[in-house]
Amino acid sequence: MLNLLRPIVRAVYPKRHPDFASLAAAQGYQVQEHTVQTSDGYLLTLHRVFEKEVSCQKGKPVAYFHHGLLTNSELFILGDRRDKCLPYLLLEKGYDVWLGNNRGNKYSSHITLTESDPCYWDFSLDEFAHTDIPSIINYILDFTGQPSLTYIGFSQGTTQMFAAMSINEDLNSKVNFFVALSPVMIPQPLTHPLIKPFVQTPSNITKVFGSGPLLPFVNLVNKAIPLPLYKTIIDVSLGILFNTSGANISSKQKLAGYPYLFSVSSVKCVVHWFQIIRQQSFHKYYKAAVSKMTDDLWEVELFDMKNLKVPCLLVYGDADILVDIDKTRQHFKQSNLDIQTIKVSGYEHMDTLWADEVLYTVFAPVLEKIEEAHKDRVQSTAGSVFI
């Protein structure tokens, strides 16, 4: 039914939201697209950003950004001002900036499967960690010739890296610094009456939403209703589900960012998250849970945090109910990881990207930490833009 409605909605309501390249161009930047093919056939788009006047990228330190759940690479360049977009700030400091995408979102496809094929949506956090993140990092390093990169993740983008390094130990030598914005490993328990049944029995999510993409109609609704109304719907929904106020984010920023906030992912990925919340442990997808209806804890396979060896900066707000910083720190005790933290008073989950004062409260100290981590790097001036 949704497939039949899409062309009608597109005809009546023309595309009002530019893609990544158009968003960047509006701020004076150009974009180069790359495609990574994973071992299981997914095609993932990477966006490499350039300043128009710059003629050389070769030899520059690489910074890679990865988005969170139900978003895409656009997330990091949606600031209502250019100085509220961390990729641009790093670009201006001389970094080779890349942004990536998960399987399932608008910047991905498959060599044989289509979105109407149930197998296309058969992925959870495990596939992101085991396949997508390593494939992307290896591609970027092979292309640039750099030995390692700085990884900046937001929300689930941090989760995927934690999991990826636990599964793929060799990634530790390929990442020189890990910036985790609003880091999520084990979210705090969710108690709202609308959510509690899904936490108690995550398989209920599949019963309600199916086993394919999650809420694919949202983008149709986004195109079909006025932006102020869409903003209100998002505000109310986030407030009900996660008890957020959005007080630190201006109405202007919400109107700039909310239309891009949703990019489809799999129901299975969301089920995996609710398994983690239910168990209060950072573990791989539990297949047997589909048929489990008891309140007992399951025997799950944990992600092994002892394998993490990359210096890490955790940036979080003390009003973020999705971040349990104490549990996160507890997991890091399994390793000898060099952990630094920046706690921002009153900040909620999205505030580490979009708060009115984010340049001063988050981006400035993050840039300082990244520069410290790269203080011995050698700047290169030779080569071509499109190496």
Q: What is the 3-state secondary structure (H, E, C) of the chain?
A: CHHHHHHHHHHHCCCCCCCHHHHHHHCCEEEEEEEEECCCCEEEEEEEEEECCCCCCCCCCEEEEECCCCCCHHHHHCCCCHHHCHHHHHHHCCCEEEECCCCCCCCEEECCCCCCCHHHHCCCHHHHHHHHHHHHHHHHHHHHCCCCEEEEEECHHHHHHHHHHHHCHHHHHCEEEEEEECCCCCCCCCCCCCCHHHHHCCHHHHHHHCCCECCCCHHHHHHHCCHHHHHHHHHHHHHHHHCCCCCCCCHHHHHHHHHHCCCCCEHHHHHHHHHHHHHCCCECCCHHHHHCCCCCCCCCCECCHHHCCCCEEEEEECCCCCCCHHHHHHHHCCCCCCEEEEEECCCCCCHHHHCCCHHHHHHHHHHHHHHHHCCCCCCCCCCCCCC
142 is catalytic: no
**Catalytic option among 73, 108, 124, 155:** 155
349 is catalytic: yes
116 is catalytic: no
**Catalytic option among 320, 324, 331, 335:** 320
**Catalytic option among 130, 324, 349, 351:** 349
The catalytic residues are 155, 320, 349
